[in-house]
Amino acid sequence: MTIIKRLNQLFSPPESKELLGISLRQQSVNFCLVSEDESFHCETVALVNGEIAATLNILNNKHAAQGQCNLILNSKQSQIVQVDKPNVPQQEINAALKWQVKDLVTISPEDMIVDYFDGPTLAGGIEKINVVCALKSELTNYVAPLNKNGISLKNITTEEFAFASLLPVKDDACLLICQQPNEEMNLLIVKQGRLYFQRRLRGLAQIAQKNEDELTMGTIDSLSLEIQRSTDYFERQLKQSSIRSIEVLVPMENEAFLARKLSENTNVPVNIFAMPSGYVEHREYAASIGATMLQNLESLQ
């Protein structure tokens, strides 16, 4: 150990163990601040003049948080496509992916930041990977407001991983239907702590405004069809064991009705997802809470 490093350790303040999970929504920012004593504070803040960077700066100054931060992008800020894994050395994969997906996404390679997580291995040994793309220029604006006043931005990732981190690790596969209020809905299949399958369901952002009659007039049938397609793909194409449970995490007044109606269209038990202990009353903050629980999940680099 060098003398300078030793002196830094002696005279620097102890590293904070606070965790900050921030979920970016289209009209607001959700965050969950977990203190060292495991108490927490959740809050929603409307965007300041529609600007995320300005809002993050105000939040940082207001709460003076310390410690590590995980940032969650909404579905409008990232795109996910599945492609064949490129046959290049591991360290060259990210660079190759920019050009492999350039015609599949709306982001130019020059302003694209990419990462990927493993996809399925199909018949014939074809390896697939799921490529996550975002605008580098946009993300750069978020880094400066967060990397100050004692906050260290550790991960930038997507809603899918934030929601998946809420699930306990089990050998049986679970299908999770999840949503942030007024955002698009996600359908995930998680097994042994790994995200095997994800699908973003468009057109359901305003599902919370629907009454029971409106839900039964097409919405539930459409959602049931997506569930069936996803389970068929997981079990037949990926040769995985059957889905053992379906969990619903859609914070809205008719959530129980939605789960009950979905259960009528499937032979798999459908449950209202139980939030982790202490967070039962904070379902609308599920993504930002999940952000504080990220461990070894893949993230954008």
236-245 pLDDT per residue, tens: 888 888 999 9
pLDDT of residue 123: 59
The CA–CA distances, whole Å, from 61 to 54, 64, 151, 267, 277 equal: 11, 5, 11, 50, 29
Q: How buried is 60 (Cβ within 10 angstroms: 0-12 exposed, 13-18 middle, 19+ buried)?
A: buried
Instruction: Classify domain 79-137 by CATH architecture.
Output: 2-Layer Sandwich (3.30)
Indicate if the pLDDT at residue 299 is higher than 60.
Answer: no
In the chain, where are the structural domains located? 79-137, 167-274
**Selecting from 3.40.50.300, 3.40.50.1820, 1.10.260.40, 3.30.420.40, what CATH number does the domain 167-274 have?**
3.30.420.40
pLDDT of residue 301: 36
Q: How far apart are CA 242 and CA 23, in angstroms?
A: 32
Indicate if the pLDDT at residue 3 is higher than 70.
Answer: no
Tally: H helices and E strands in the chain = 9, 13
- What pTM does this model have? 0.89
Q: Any idea what the Cα angle at residue 181 is, between residues 61 and 105, rounded to 5°?
A: 90
Q: How far apart are CA 195 and CA 208, in angstroms?
A: 26
pLDDT average, residue stretch 49-74: 88
| Position 1 confidence tier, pLDDT thresholds 50, 70, 90 | very low
State both tokens at 29.
């920012």
Indicate if the pLDDT at residue 118 is higher than 70.
Answer: yes
Indicate if the pLDDT at residue 7 is higher than 70.
Answer: no
| Position 8 confidence tier, pLDDT thresholds 50, 70, 90 | very low
pLDDT of residue 176: 98
| Position 220 confidence tier, pLDDT thresholds 50, 70, 90 | very high
| Position 12 confidence tier, pLDDT thresholds 50, 70, 90 | very low
Q: Which amino acid is at 215?
A: L
